[in-house]
Amino acid sequence: ITPSSASDGSGSGLTITPYYIELDQNATSFASADFNSGWTNNAWTKSSLNANEAQAVRTKAKDNVGNESSWVNPSPVYKYTLADTPGAPTLVTVGSSAMDITIDTNSNSSITEYAIAVSFDNWLNTKYVQVDGTLGSAGGSAVWQTLASWGSPSRVTGLNSLYTYKVKIKARNNNQTETDFSAESQLGSLNQAPSVIINSAAQTQNGTQYVTINYTLTDAEANTCSLLNYEYSTDNSTWQT
């Protein structure tokens, strides 16, 4: 907090520490001081304030003979502290075309807004999650919402099950000052093809043309799956359906 220069109408001059600054935490109008600078000669830095929270300020000055000015408020009387950069989001697959994104707020206040960036080509193209949970067009503008509006988690739909998606989050405070992006999180292709394992193949019985094959189908997403087609060969060279 840096006071503007003060003048002394009495002609006695200002002291070497002419400014006194008070700060009212989490306030948009000054009511009472939570912190003060004491008499200081220039700027005052107050650390350890909460992220994205309004801080109301007032200041006064004094001259060499101890005369003090009235309190003066800046315009506007308050400013918001910066938001903290979010943590890496948590991603969870939902079916074959959606994922849930949980934003790590990193202790930001509830009024903090977030934008969710998504890419399936390693950030050659960036798309932002829209209010309705779909992805916007490549290179489109960020969409900002609070955590309460996004939801926790926030579901993103209309995805391609064959793509690997990367997601990163940025935040902004109520003065519209943005943070850097969070570390990215990655979600592999949303739905893998099932695998089949042949457990055993019995020999044909005399006088028959049939063979029994025991197999196991496994699906990583626990989807219902069935044997769609198969091929067989009697010489391991020529295969028939």
**Contact, 51 vs 84, CB < 8 A?**
yes
**Contact, 87 vs 48, CB < 8 A?**
no
- Which stretches within the chain are classed as H helix? 147-150
Q: What six digits make up the tokens of 78?
A: 């308050």
What pLDDT is recorded for position 2? 72
Of 14-18, 44-48, 69-73, 147-151, the poorest mean pLDDT is in 14-18
Higher pLDDT, 14 or 44: 44
Task: Say yes or no: domain 87-187 is CATH 2.60.40.10.
Answer: yes
What pLDDT is recorded for position 8? 45
* CA distance readout (Å), 177 to 2, 84, 90, 104, 209: 20, 11, 24, 18, 76
**Contact, 21 vs 53, CB < 8 A?**
no
* pLDDT classification of 155: cutoffs 50, 70, 90: very high
In sequence order, what are the beta bridge partners of 159? none
Q: Which residue has 């006088």 as its token pair?
A: 207
**Contact, 128 vs 119, CB < 8 A?**
no
- Is the pLDDT score of 11 beyond 70? no
DSSP code string of 134-181:
SB--TTPPP--EEHHHH-SSEEEES--TT--EEEEEEEE-TT--B-PP
Euclidean distance between CA atoms 84 and 103, whole angstroms? 13
Euclidean distance between CA atoms 138 and 120, whole angstroms? 11
Euclidean distance between CA atoms 220 and 212, whole angstroms? 26
Mean pLDDT of 79-99: 94
Mean pLDDT of 91-103: 93
Euclidean distance between CA atoms 29 and 167, whole angstroms? 38
